[in-house]
Each structure stands twice: as structure tokens, then as C-alpha cells.
């Protein structure tokens, strides 16, 4: 069939590799519903955190645009040489303050990171290993395939690895991250609390990290015949500490709306309860495993437990000629924050911060995350009874890419990585951030518009204004290597340490939250799980253990507390954090789910599984003040730490902040 192939394309169009500090790795999901990994699979035997690698494949297409077959060098007559050019540009880019396409950001003029660094030497701040190639089967695994570059800050330098290339047993490309190295060769602080630095949070001077991205290309020959091959893109993101928990809105959800609005994809004619409505509801119940507040409302026995078969039955179909549960559907819909924005109210759903929170005043309408327009349209049709009642009637999704027909594999490979990325809140976010929602950076769905080397990006000057950023010659168009991740926090560990929940204890100590589906707030500890499963204990004690949650940040407490110290601890010890993993439930406790998601900590040499951790969600060491006690219940180590991160996130400089976040 290879004689019918006239072109080829790499899939996924955008792949996400995630950071770890282990030599070992596992492959990122290639389908929407992969087979669950066994508990303990995310850490190596030596206690290190495995890297999450992305596998790229090439498919051949005929003149009609149909998939013919996958192409690999394992097939006779096929030669493939892969090329990857990943670059880390954060330190040479502009500071993050908030998404520049927000209405409140219209007058932004963002300073460069490292503003005192000479303009003619700013490429010293870029880690660029150059274009690297690999070919053959089972290639890589040596120093030659590591993407290593040098970060220079004035007279100080650091050599670091930001990625690695391999091929598998049939010659598919496997791209890995570096090993999570972040630092300052000049010894500068991860956060400048002097009060004299503009936008200090997530913009550490003299620092680098392993966040990077760039194009993936391939030279393909079939029987000596050159076949044009469409390239892809790869980005390196922080670890996923809750791999099976899906965010309320995924990056795939966002981009499908962006592409539909651009006229690139058709709008759906029907609303499916299973595919369109239930994800908006069921994901809220899924967040119970990573935030204590969601347990009470969306967890077992809560008012809206969307895993409860009785509740699902009421809302998944029309009951009776009078549609007796229509009002229930309406009330669920009305509980969500409207599209027009009602960010002032924390009481509307979802309990997730919007893009503006942390930069603008408390009355900014984008402080809370609303329903997005496409979701709101579908939910209105659901409320009105205009939907397909297909719960329990939709075929099971494939759990492995091998179960997908070859013709459908490219589309599945394209969608899966973005399903496991977050769209909110872009402040700046977990994997990628707000420029992704601009159609101008896309060539077509799943394909980043690539900047030609002979058309370099202009220098935007000492400050990047909103008008320039969103303008026709701004950076939201064709992308050079490193163009996507440069907008993210530097180092990423500072954001992971500080983007949490419980900033306003007067409302709720656990809600709203930023992105617990990737960076948990509160978790079910393994020792609580053991008590849940212990049939010798009284049921009441087992149930109490189930509802107990502990701060996910607890493992860092032994290294010292305080805002800046917590950031430093996350830089040095991020791989010691727990991973929320699937485990079998008890099966004999009424109301307790059959599957639980439990924190698994690494087994490091000389480290106890949990060092002195109290059961039932309590924190160690009695709090000396009521304020500290309240902060600890919310997951902070102290009220001082909570106030530090609230202040650090909510002011351009510590010296100019006001109590309400204005300047």
C-alpha cells in the first residue's frame, strides 16, 4: 500500500512531555481513557519520579487525504530521520503578570525578565541545544541523545539538560524532558522580597528551568522516494501529580471551541449527555481527590455527587411526559458562573479561580472561572430537554491506541495529550498558557504555525505592551522554538508552590482553587487508606478515615517552612511529592466509592513512607494561634506562609500593594 502514499504527517500534532528526575520513564496517554497504571508506577525503585515521555508516530496519506498506514523504519524500504529543536526561552522573555488578552490588562507594559541584562547578550539567557536528529530502532539512551545547553548569566554559567531523544523498538520517536533542574548559577533568590522589583512572582532574575518547546520534524523516504512530512510540536511541562484526575476544562475543550469559532471545525448538531454534559459535572466530583472542599459537596453523600447512579438517572434522561426533573437540571445549570462573568461571587460554580485572580482587584469579573460559551450552549439545550439520552448506551472508549482503527489513530493521538492539559486558570497555568487560545498561532487544528528561520521574530523592546502583544506583528503568530513555554512561570516550582487554595479564609479555607487536577491541594493519605481498608476497625472509624485529607505540601515541611523557603524546597525536592494514584476501594462500606485515589509517596533511602503524619487529615504539631490553626486546616503551614503567597501573587511589587490587590 505504500505506493499510494503521497504525503505523511507526525502525530500527535502537539505532544506534552513532563518533568521527572528519574532515568526511567513511561509514555504519556495516547488515548482519552488509557488503562490505569498500577499504584507505585510513577516512582522508580530508587524513589525518583519517572519522566513522562511523549511518543510520536508517522502516518502515510493518499491523494484523497485518507490514512493508508503507519510508517516506521521497521518496514522494508522505509527510512525515517527524526529532528527535534527544543529551546528554553523563559529567562530571555518578558515577565508574567496576567494574561494579556484580559480586558483589565489593556494598559500592560511588561518589563523583560532580567531587565539589567545587556540587550545584545540576551541570547545568553536562552538554553538552545540546537536541532538534533535521531534515526533507527531502539536508538538513544546515551549522553549523545540528551539535549544539553548552557545558561549564561553575566559571568556565571550552568550546563543543563532540557530534553532527551530516543526511538522505540520499531523506530517511533520518544521525546523526554530533562531532569527537573532549575537554578541560578549566580546564586540569586527564587523570589525577591525587597519590595523594589517589579512583578517578582514567577519571574526570578538569573534563573533557568527545564520548561521548553519546539518543532518535531522528519525526513521520510519510501523506496528511495522522498515523501513530504508535516511536522508536529513538543512542549516540556511540570510533572502531573494527579495523572488520572481530569481538570474541569481541558486544553482540548478550549481549543475545540477556538477552532470551531475560527470556522475550521463544524459545530456539533446534537448534544450528547454522555459526551457533552456529564464531563462538566462528573469532573467536579473527580476533584474530590485533590481538594478537601470538593469532597463535601461533590463527594460521596454530598448534595451533588455526580457519581451517584440515582442522581445520574434523574439528570441523564427525560422522566415522564411532564419532564419532572427539568427544574433540577435548571438549578444545576444556574449554579454555574455565567459566560458574561460573575467573578466577584465565589459562591457560584465551579470553585476554580479565573485568569484575573492574583493580579486584579477583587471585583474583577474574570476572578472566577465561568462556563465557556460552547459549554453554556450545550447545557441550555440539556436544560430544555434537547439532548440525546445516551447514558449507558455509548460504546466504551479504547484503552490502548492499538485498539483504535488505523484510520482513526492520528485523530486519537492528537486529542489525547491535550485532554490531560489544563485550560484554567491561565495565571499563568500548568502546561501552557493564554496564547494557546488565539487562532493566530495555529496553522490548523493541532498544528502550530511555525516561524521560518529566515523570518525572525522582531525585538519588542524593553517593554511588551498589550497592544503590541495582540497586534498584527506581535508574538501570537508563527512560533519559533521555545515560543510557547516562554510565557510560563520561572521557575515552574515557584508556581507549583504558591498556586493553591484557601487564600480567603473568610469565605472557605479550601475553596476556590487554582489547578488541583495537576497540583493537588489536599489528598487522601495512604495511612488513611489503610484504615479504610482495614475490616477489623469499626465502620465509623473507617468512614472517618476516608473523609480525612492532608495537605499535599506536607512532605516539604521537614525542610523548613515559610513562603520563600517553600519555593526553595519545591525546587530541590519536587520529586519527593506524592502522586495521587488509583487504588481499589473497600467494597463493604456503604457510600464509599469502589475506586479511591490515594497519595503515594516515594520510598526514598532513609525516608519513612510518611514521617510522623497524623491520621484523619490532622496536621502535625499543635498550632500556636487560632490563625495558624485555620491556615493549617486549609493546607498551609502557618498563617504567615498563607499571607506571604497571597501578597506575592497579588501585587506588582510588595512595596506597592494595597489590601485589595490594586496598586
* 517 secondary structure, DSSP code: T
- Grid cell 459535572 — which residue? 281
Q: CA 482, CA 215: separation in Å to the nearest integer?
A: 9
pLDDT the model gives residue 652:
55
Q: How many CB atoms lie within 10 A of CB 6?
A: 15
pLDDT tier for residue 615 given thresholds of 50, 70 and 90: very low
Query: E strands of 354-493, at which residues?
Result: 442-444, 447-448, 463-465
* pLDDT at residue 655 greater than cutoff 50: no
Q: Where on the phi/psi map is residue 180: left (φ > 0), alpha (ψ -120 to 50), or beta?
A: left
Percent over 70 (pLDDT), the chain: 94
The closest alpha carbon to 310, from 371, 391, 387, 390, belongs to: 391
* pLDDT at residue 610 greater than cutoff 90: no
Q: CA 652, CA 635: separation in Å to the nearest integer?
A: 25
CB 502 within 8 A of CB 631: yes
Torsional sign, CA 186, 187, 193, 194: negative
pLDDT the model gives residue 651:
59
Mean pLDDT along residues 619-639? 75
- The residue that leads in pLDDT, 325 or 365, is 325
pLDDT the model gives residue 592:
95
Q: CA 379, CA 370: separation in Å to the nearest integer?
A: 13
Q: CA 389, CA 366: separation in Å to the nearest integer?
A: 33
Mean pLDDT along residues 596-606? 84
* pLDDT at residue 164 greater than cutoff 70: yes
pLDDT tier for residue 361 given thresholds of 50, 70 and 90: confident
* pLDDT at residue 342 greater than cutoff 70: no
Query: E strands of 485-641, at which residues?
Result: 522-523, 550-551, 579-584, 595-600
- How confident is the model over 253-265, as pLDDT tens digits? 999 999 999 999 9
- Grid cell 493580579 — which residue? 359
Query: E strands of 154-211, at which residues?
Result: 156-167, 173-177
Mean pLDDT along residues 56-70? 98
Mean pLDDT along residues 241-259? 98
pLDDT the model gives residue 242:
98
pLDDT the model gives residue 269:
86
Q: CA 646, CA 657: separation in Å to the nearest integer?
A: 11
Show the cell assigned to 149. Answer: 545547553
pLDDT the model gives residue 562:
86
pLDDT the model gives residue 343:
56
Say whether 63 sits in a helix, a strand or coil.
coil
Q: CA 377, CA 369: separation in Å to the nearest integer?
A: 16
- How confident is the model over 469-500, as pLDDT tens digits? 999 999 999 999 999 999 999 999 999 998 89
* pLDDT at residue 421 greater than cutoff 70: yes
Burial 422-441 (b: 16+ CB within 10 A, else e): bbbbbbbbbbbbbbbbbbeb
Q: How many CB atoms lie within 10 A of CB 586?
A: 18
- How confident is the model over 445-473, as pLDDT tens digits? 999 999 999 999 999 999 999 999 999 99
Q: CA 52, CA 407: separation in Å to the nearest integer?
A: 26
* pLDDT at residue 71 greater than cutoff 90: yes
- Grid cell 485589595 — which residue? 660
pTM of the model: 0.95
Helices (H), 335-482: 373-383, 409-419, 466-469
Show the cell assigned to 1. Answer: 500500500
CB 278 within 8 A of CB 392: no
* pLDDT at residue 662 greater than cutoff 50: no
- How confident is the model over 32-59, as pLDDT tens digits? 999 999 999 999 999 999 999 999 999 9
Q: What is the greatest pairwise CA distance in the chain?
A: 78
CB 314 within 8 A of CB 326: no
Compute the mean pLDDT over every residue in the chain, rounded to the nearest whole number. 92
pLDDT the model gives residue 616:
37
pLDDT the model gives residue 504:
83
Q: CA 334, CA 339: separation in Å to the nearest integer?
A: 11
Mean pLDDT along residues 634-645? 87
pLDDT tier for residue 613 given thresholds of 50, 70 and 90: very low
The 3-state DSSP composition of the chain as helix, strand, coil percent (nearest 5) reads 25, 20, 50
- How confident is the model over 187-240, as pLDDT tens digits? 999 999 999 999 999 999 999 999 999 999 999 999 999 999 999 999 999 999
pLDDT the model gives residue 476:
98
pLDDT the model gives residue 618:
42
Range from 43-52, 176-185, 391-400, 627-636 carrying the lowest mean pLDDT: 627-636
Mean pLDDT along residues 151-178? 97
Determine the angle formed by the axes of helices 373-383 and 251-261, rounding to 10 degrees.
90
pLDDT the model gives residue 405:
98
Percent over 90 (pLDDT), the chain: 83
Segments making up each domain of the chain, as ranges: 7-35+46-261+401-487, 495-659
Show the cell assigned to 405. Answer: 482503527
Show the cell assigned to 398. Answer: 479504547
* pLDDT at residue 308 greater than cutoff 90: yes
pLDDT the model gives residue 632:
84
Mean pLDDT along residues 590-596? 94
pLDDT the model gives residue 581:
97
Mean pLDDT along residues 557-565? 89
Amino acid at each position: 500500500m505504500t505506493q499510494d502514499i503521497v504525503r505523511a504527517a507526525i502525530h500527535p500534532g502537539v505532544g506534552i512531555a513532563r518533568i521527572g528526575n528519574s532515568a526511567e520513564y513511561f509514555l504519556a496517554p495516547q488515548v482519552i481513557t488509557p488503562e490505569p497504571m498500577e499504584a507505585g508506577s510513577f516512582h522508580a525503585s530508587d524513589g525518583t519520579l519517572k519522566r513522562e515521555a511523549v511518543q510520536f508516530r508517522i502516518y502515510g496519506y493518499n491523494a484523497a487525504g485518507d490514512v493508508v498506514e503507519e510508517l516506521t523504519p521497521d518496514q522494508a524500504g522505509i527510512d525515517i530521520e527524526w529532528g527535534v529543536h527544543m529551546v528554553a526561552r523563559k529567562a530571555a522573555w518578558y515577565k508574567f503578570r496576567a494574561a494579556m488578552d484580559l480586558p483589565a490588562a489593556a494598559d500592560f507594559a511588561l518589563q523583560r525578565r532580567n531587565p539589567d541584562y545587556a540587550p545584545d547578550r540576551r541570547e545568553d539567557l536562552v538554553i538552545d541545544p540546537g536541532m538534533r536528529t535521531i534515526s533507527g530502532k531502539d536508538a538513544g539512551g546515551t549522553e549523545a541523545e540528551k539535549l544539553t545547553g548552557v545558561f549564561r548569566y553575566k559571568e556565571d554559567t550552568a550546563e543543563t539538560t532540557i530534553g532527551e531523544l530516543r526511538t522505540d523498538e520499531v523506530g517511533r520517536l520518544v521525546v523526554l524532558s530533562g531532569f527537573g533542574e532549575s537554578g541560578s548559577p549566580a546564586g540569586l533568590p527564587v523570589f525577591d522580597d525587597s519590595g523594589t522589583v517589579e512583578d517578582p512572582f514567577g519571574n526570578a532574575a538569573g534563573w533557568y528551568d527545564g520548561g521548553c518547546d519546539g518543532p518535531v520534524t522528519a525526513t521520510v523516504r519510501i523506496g528511495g522516494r522522498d515523501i513530504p512530512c508535516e511536522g508536529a510540536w513538543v512542549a516540556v511541562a511540570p510533572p502531573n501529580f494527579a495523572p488520572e484526575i481530569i481538570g474541569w476544562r481541558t486544553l482540548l475543550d478550549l481549543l475545540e471551541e477556538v477552532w470551531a469559532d475560527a470556522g475550521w471545525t463544524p459545530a456539533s448538531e446534537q448534544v450528547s449527555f454522555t459526551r457533552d454534559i456529564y464531563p462538566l459535572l462528573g469532573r467536579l466530583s473527580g476533584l474530590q481527590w485533590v481538594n478537601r472542599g470538593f469532597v463535601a459537596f461533590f463527594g460521596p453523600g454530598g448534595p451533588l455527587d455526580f457519581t451517584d447512579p440515582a442522581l445520574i438517572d434523574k439528570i441523564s434522561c427525560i422522566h415522564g411526559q411532564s419532564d419532572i426533573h427539568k427544574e433540577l437540571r435548571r438549578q444545576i445549570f444556574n449554579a454555574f458562573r455565567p459566560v458574561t462573568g460573575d467573578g466577584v461571587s465565589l459562591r457560584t460554580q465551579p470553585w476554580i479561580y479565573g485568569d484575573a485572580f492574583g493580579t486584579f482587584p477583587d471585583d474583577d469579573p474574570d476572578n472566577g472561572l465561568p462556563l465557556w460559551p460552547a459549554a453554556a450552549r450545550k447545557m441550555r439545550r440539556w436544560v430544555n430537554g434537547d439532548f440525546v439520552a445516551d447514558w449507558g448506551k455509548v460504546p466504551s472508549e479504547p484503552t490502548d491506541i492499538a485498539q483504535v482503527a488505523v484510520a482513526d489513530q492520528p485523530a486519537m493521538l492528537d486529542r489525547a495529550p491535550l485532554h490531560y492539559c489544563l485550560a484554567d486558570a491561565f495565571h499563568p497555568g500548568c502546561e501552557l498558557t493564554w496564547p494557546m487560545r488565539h487562532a493566530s498561532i495555529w496553522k490548523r487544528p493541532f498544528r502550530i504555525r511555525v516561524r521560518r528561520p529566515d523570518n525572525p521574530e522582531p525585538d519588542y523592546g524593553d517593554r511588551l505592551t498589550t497592544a503590541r502583544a495582540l497586534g498584527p506583528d506581535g508574538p501570537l503568530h508563527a512560533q519559533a522554538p521555545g515560543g510557547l513555554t516562554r510565557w510560563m512561570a520561572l521557575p515552574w516550582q515557584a508556581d507549583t508552590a504558591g498556586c493553591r487554595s484557601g487564600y480567603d479564609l473568610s469565605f472557605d479555607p479550601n475553596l476556590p482553587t487554582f489547578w488541583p487536577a495537576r497540583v493537588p491541594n489536599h489528598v487522601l493519605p495512604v495511612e488513611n487508606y489503610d484504615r479504610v481498608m482495614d475490616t477489623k476497625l469499626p465502620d465509623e472509624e473507617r468512614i472517618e478515615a476516608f473523609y480525612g485529607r492532608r495537605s499535599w505540601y506536607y512532605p516539604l515541611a521537614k525542610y523548613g517552612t515559610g513562603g520563600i523557603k517553600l519555593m526553595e524546597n519545591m525546587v530541590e525536592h519536587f520529586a519527593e511529592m506524592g502522586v495521587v494514584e488509583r487504588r481499589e476501594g473497600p467494597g463493604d462500606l456503604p457510600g464509599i466509592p469502589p475506586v479511591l485515589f490515594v497519595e503515594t509517596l516515594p520510598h526514598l533511602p532513609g525516608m519513612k513512607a510518611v514521617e510522623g503524619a497524623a491520621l484523619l487529615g490532622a496536621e502535625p504539631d499543635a498550632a500556636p494561634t487560632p490563625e495558624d490553626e485555620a491556615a493549617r486546616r486549609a493546607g498551609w503551614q502557618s498563617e504567615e506562609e498563607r499571607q506571604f503567597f497571597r501578597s506575592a501573587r497579588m501585587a506588582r511589587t510588595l512595596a506597592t500593594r494595597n489590601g485589595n490587590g490594586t496598586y
